[in-house]
Structure 1
Amino acid sequence: MTDLYWDPLAPELRDDPYPLWRRLRDEAPVYRNDRFDFYALSRFEDIEAAHRDAETFSSSHGTTLETMAPEPQDTAMMIWLDPPKHTTLRKLVSRAFTVRRVSALEERIHEICAELLDAQVGSGGFDYVQDFSAILPPTVISILLGVPGSEREELRHVVDNVFHMEEGVGMNNETSIGALTELGLRLGAHFADRRGNPRDDVFTDLVNAEVADEVTGQARRLTDAELASFAILLFSAGSETVARHVGWAASVLDEYPDQRAELARDPGLIPGAIEEILRYEPPSPVNARWTTRDVTVRDATIPAGSRVILITGSAGHDERKYPDPDVLDIHRKVDLHMTFGYGVHFCLGAALARREGRIGLEETLKRWPEWSVDRARTEMLYTSTVRGPLRLPILV
């Protein structure tokens, strides 16, 4: 097994990590990497169990390999918190994704897709990611939050820099850290405006929200740091992963033209296809946790204070869970996948992400029942937690 090596920072794995992940599932389901000092779980059953046991597999030390530290993160970022504080803040953020708000966006998402795609009709080809899928989600999340249109394009590129990757250090680099700071300052400025100019948007909801103080138990408003953290999380998560997901849909379906043709003939199949694409090519296939106690997984004991990588992308291709997992099947009944996480950290924006994916694919197929991806000019984005097309030239 000396030739079996994996780490989430290795650039050579960005194109096709699945054969190696299969080896991990078969040969080392509890994998140990001495170079970067972490363990990795790759089977669906083990990853599901880890998500369910948030007390043992903690998020409070960070959720990407390069940002994890022995001490808990001193942050208001919800994804880096454990219950009970996580539970309190999650209830607040859930206000952004109420059924009313998400449902009200249906028509607007169709309009945004139509505007972006109609601009490409007759062009003969375009970059499906940079001209469409990377613009759609930040536009939608901006409307939800209350970010004005004049700022959206610039902020989209700031988010791109947040996910800037450098070999050996991942996203723990000057460009990424600087972009994160800039994003917090730019978005945080809107909260000051909402205190004097309230609107029907999420920024206003968060400014007016109250939580119980952890020391006194008295109701209090969110701090500026907490508000900025919420804004960063909602805008970046609502932009980056959905952009990759919609890009994956176009890329994958070009490899399965018969199934694409089925979807063009019967749009009613698209919601199921979206679930299958999420399983088949998850936009965030790697997540990290910190063990708070010794824990035995299969025949291995992972000590307390260990970094553990949950390879959710591998879980989606585990043949112990899914028959023929390396084949896309839009008729597959996907009862559960780990792409949006599971348990207390299940993605709050999942319903919105599914809606954007469905509508984006519907509107694409209305205009072009078929397309051809220029694989030679395709560029991938790969960080320690996100993977997907960065540039996807298609011929139409």
Structure 2
Amino acid sequence: MSDLYYDPWHVDIDIDPYPTYRRLRDEAPVYRNDEHGFWGLSRYADVDAALKDTTRLSSAKGDILEVVMTDPVMPPGIFINEDPPLHTIHRAIVARAFTPKKMRAIEDKIRAFCVACLDPLVGGDRFDFVEDLGAELPMRTIGMLAGIPNSEQPAVREHANEVLRNEAGKPMAIAKDRYFTGEMFGEYIEWRENNPSDDLITELLNVEFEDETGTVRKLTKQELTVFLAVVAGAGVETTGRLFGWMGKVLAEHPDQRKELTSTPTLIPSAIEELLRYEPPGPHVARYVATGDVTFHGVVVPEGSPLLLMLASANRDERQFQNADRFDIHRKPGGHLTFGRGAHFCVGAPLARLEGRVALEEVLKRWPEWDIDMSCARRSRTSTVRGWDSMPAVIR
């Protein structure tokens, strides 16, 4: 009887899951958790193939393991929980907000947000990568993009944070009949209908598209509400966790941090390596929809929830040389943190932009810091892995 055990809610494993991931890749690349009733893939090649396989592996029951296992009533408009062709139609609408041209246009504003977060802290002896930066910058950026008033943005952040929390060691509770309503955005949408502006809500209110029935129409109020909830939740919560890892990992690699300070052109590749090394979203789930699937001779039955371990794939030595080593000179690309194929993260350009600008601005002010791990606080969520607080002591 093997002592190999993994589930994403296990508190002790989650502190450092990488030794367990390594054992899974070596001993059980197709893993079955009998206690919770799900299957898991941990090797890069398998996760990569599964992410691209929208025919047999469906997102229609969700992309979070607890959601897939609960199989709730899924409201229309959660485009990350749709399969092509519906997903393709809805995704194209949202992707308008994240084009390279739009990203270039907002870089100065993101930098101004970043400066506003950091400048008041200059001269002090410490600052917090999460509380002072990760909790603020993504919230302000999404608020600006969506057209959510400044005074309401903290409520959006708190909601995004709260819905992903789980009790330590247990799966997140999912309401089967009331999943992901996005209702808090209803009033913003109504307000924007009467007060149009240059923002995502106004753009989505007016966009016309051809739906899956061939009908040219505008988004329904419910679709629009859920769209915004998806964009805001992903943009605030996952990107926010990136900043905690930025502070911790670079403190642990002072030589590479020093190199980034002297050669800022390396910062984009450092962000890519950070995303590979400690992905804020460590896994996604799928549902085996059309017949049994087989990996390495192991049959995963139709109807099974399947966990795709992105964080494990990112450390697979079959794909990456010295995979457990953080290396800002690693050739960028290849990691699966943003997914692959049809469901590749639509907000990836924005996350990369925020990460790059934030690291540039931090290093300008504080080229050296230590982390006070005695005061660092982990986030209690299985879906997004990271920190609620990552205090840096300025040297």
TM-score (norm 2): 0.95
Partner of 1:222: 219
Show the 5 A alignment for 1:190-229: 190-215=188-213, 217-229=214-226
Partner of 1:35: 35
Matched residues in 2 for 1:82 and 1:73: separation? 16
Matched residues in 2 for 1:311 and 1:89: separation? 26
Give the partner amino acid of 2:267. I
Aligned length: 391
Q: Secondary structure at the match of 1:376?
A: coil
Name which of 281, 284, 307 aligns with 2:281.
Answer: 284
Give the partner amino acid of 1:74. M
Query: Unaligned stretches of 5+ in structure 2?
Result: none
Matched residues in 2 for 1:69 and 1:42: separation? 19
Contact 2:38 2:306 in 1 (8 A): yes
Partner of 1:13: 13
Of 162-171 and 382-391, the range deviating more from structure 2: 162-171
Shift, 1:158, TM fit: 2.0
Q: Secondary structure at the match of 1:126?
A: strand
Partner of 2:2: 2
Partner of 2:272: 275
Name which of 371, 375, 378 aligns with 2:376.
Answer: 378
Partner of 1:146: 147
Matched residues in 2 for 1:110 and 1:74: separation? 37
Q: Secondary structure at the match of 2:286?
A: strand
Q: Secondary structure at the match of 2:7?
A: coil
Give the partner amino acid of 2:22. R
Contact 2:267 2:360 in 1 (8 A): yes
Q: Secondary structure at the match of 2:342?
A: helix
Contact 2:59 2:80 in 1 (8 A): yes
Matched residues in 2 for 1:155 and 1:287: separation? 23
Q: Are 1:84 and 2:76 an aligned pair?
A: no
Shift, 1:63, TM fit: 1.3
Matched residues in 2 for 1:279 and 1:73: separation? 33
Query: Unaligned stretches of 5+ in structure 1?
Result: none
Of 192-201 and 58-67, the range deviating more from structure 2: 192-201
Partner of 2:186: 188
Shift, 1:211, TM fit: 3.1
Shift, 1:367, TM fit: 0.3
Partner of 1:238: 235
Contact 2:75 2:180 in 1 (8 A): no
Shift, 1:303, TM fit: 1.1
The alignment yields a C-alpha RMSD, in angstroms, of 1.8
Matched residues in 2 for 1:14 and 1:38: separation? 18
Show the 5 A alignment for 1:303-314: 303-314=301-312
Of 341-350 and 149-158, the range deviating more from structure 2: 149-158
Partner of 1:342: 340
Give the partner amino acid of 1:122. G
Q: Deviations over 1:268-302 (max 9, x none)?
A: 11011111110000000111100112111112111
Give the partner amino acid of 2:297. D
Q: Secondary structure at the match of 2:32?
A: strand
Q: Secondary structure at the match of 1:263?
A: helix
Q: Deviations over 1:59-81 (max 9, x none)?
A: 11111121114757532211111
Q: Are 1:106 and 2:107 an aligned pair?
A: yes
Q: Deviations over 1:232-271 (max 9, x none)?
A: 0111101011111122111100000000000011101101
TM-score (norm 1): 0.95
